[in-house]
Structure 1
């Protein structure tokens, strides 16, 4: 019952965001600034507070980090090899691969971790998310650069490095880790300010996810969408689950990682596809399809673990 009490309210808010967009309560002009507010201010405040107030020695598990990154890299390699046999058009192939491993950690993953596991789960998930985001972004650029349209100038190594180094989630996680290492408590005024900002993050993020869904694009590529979603929501967390169990990691230690691995396709996948001449329509459809399906798969994974 705790699982349903977590998942149903979250996806109800996402659905409300979708309805609000269709009814004109959330405009297209609102989405860009609101997403920047959430991604650059509210979520970093939430992450910094969670990690800085936590116990880094308790919350950081190097075995979980290594297994999680190995799972993402293994699925990426599998997709790359499998793509040769399928022989999709190059731009679509690059976007299909990216959509099948690039998860929405900041908006959905941290929301599930917080609402299901509380502050401690959020701290563990936030630390792990920083490592996964670095790998996800690097792999996404590699596949889009390799298979994207040759006429595109791409993003370039320097821009990739700067983008990863300046990612608000990564920066706030690292800052929280450093502050936690000092053993000092966060001053009450700052703690409350970060809490106010952080409390804004997840509800608004869920509304924005719903407002950005575009289900009409799903009709044109059903098989590719199903395949991408099965890999993202089933194969990737399934491989992680197998490896955590195989190496004897306790369930309480890897549950935040399963939540992050089981996230639907990240909204940034669309932005990266657009910048590097990927298939933007497929990216938008994959985000919508995997987000809708994840209401079921999150429930199943939380029940299994």
Structure 2
């Protein structure tokens, strides 16, 4: 199936979320509670289910993890040039630069699930597990003006790390999970991605797009075009193939995480710019992801 058709249901759910919020059917208060519920209650079971019974070859995934680190660090460094280039104050720069290197996990798992099923989710979960501490380190460091304040707290309470760690532990220990319990976990997991994508759409904001057009174009160019090219070069250089290559390339072309806005607001960054980064990145990815997947595959 053409990648555009594979991705279409996911992007339709994002647009559905935007339409629901614009119509007034979803209130801001409900959206905040729904995002919290999905992130902390539904998302860990999705990752646990994908990893607990997966056939894993950690050693074989090392080149993929190295390539993920390479394009993430490169995107962070390239994005950091925006501060002198566009003469941005620190709170705006730190909030917006997340758009160059942070990734939307909801979209990651939805896309890999559509492309490769549970094995695809398990593979990209390994990559997410390696990248989440790194991108949080970068984001918190810049938002805290280099002090690193709050980084440990952000990592400890991150549900992606909970889900991946528990799933890996169960897998490596050969834990036999009772069927009724695993079925309950699966019910929660099944709800995570559709609801997550709807909240991504409901969170889209357009107020600051025109004001920050130049840096937004710069950061989105790095995230959605330059990073995939770096990932492709790394895959060829390191001989990454099959499902590992597919997960690496999907990870490199994801839009910016909606949590970039939450973190920016919590740490006194420029929330409006962070929202604009998330919005512009998500909308642009609806075009770039199908095109890049068609070309790269």
User: How far did residue 86 of structure 1 move?
Assistant: 4.0
Alignment partner for residue 166 of structure 2, among 172, 175, 181?
A: 175
Does the Cα contact within 8 Å between 2:47 and 2:163 map onto a contact in 1? Answer: yes
**TM-score between both structures, scaled by the size of structure 2:** 0.93
- CA-based RMSD of the aligned residues comes to 1.9
User: Within 2, Cα distance between the matches of 1:166 and 1:222?
Assistant: 33
User: Within 1, Cα distance between the matches of 2:71 and 2:137?
Assistant: 15
User: How far did residue 288 of structure 1 move?
Assistant: 0.5
Deviating more after overlay: 123-132 vs 212-221: 212-221
Change (3 A) 1:171 1:59: farther
Alignment partner for residue 270 of structure 1, among 261, 273, 292?
A: 261
User: How far did residue 276 of structure 1 move?
Assistant: 2.5
Query: Which residue number corresponds to residue 205 of structure 2?
Result: 214
Per-residue displacement from partner, 1:15-52 (whole Å, max 9, x unpaired)? 11111111111111111111111111111111101100
User: Within 1, Cα distance between the matches of 2:242 and 2:56?
Assistant: 19
User: Within 2, Cα distance between the matches of 1:168 and 1:191?
Assistant: 18
List gaps (5 residues or longer) in structure 2: none
Query: Which residue number corresponds to residue 53 of structure 1?
Result: 53
User: Within 2, Cα distance between the matches of 1:262 and 1:200?
Assistant: 24
User: How far did residue 125 of structure 1 move?
Assistant: 0.9
Per-residue displacement from partner, 1:191-230 (whole Å, max 9, x unpaired)? 2111100010011011111111112321222111111111
User: Within 1, Cα distance between the matches of 2:244 and 2:226?
Assistant: 20
Name the SS for the 2:209 alignment partner: helix
Alignment partner for residue 283 of structure 1, among 260, 274, 288?
A: 274
Is the aligned partner of 1:296 residue 2:295?
no
1:127-146 pair list within 5 angstroms: 127-146=126-145
User: Within 2, Cα distance between the matches of 1:302 and 1:185?
Assistant: 37
Change (3 A) 1:88 1:162: closer
User: Within 1, Cα distance between the matches of 2:251 and 2:36?
Assistant: 22
Change (3 A) 1:299 1:128: same
Change (3 A) 1:253 1:223: same
Does the Cα contact within 8 Å between 1:44 and 1:168 map onto a contact in 2? Answer: yes
User: Within 2, Cα distance between the matches of 1:116 and 1:215?
Assistant: 30
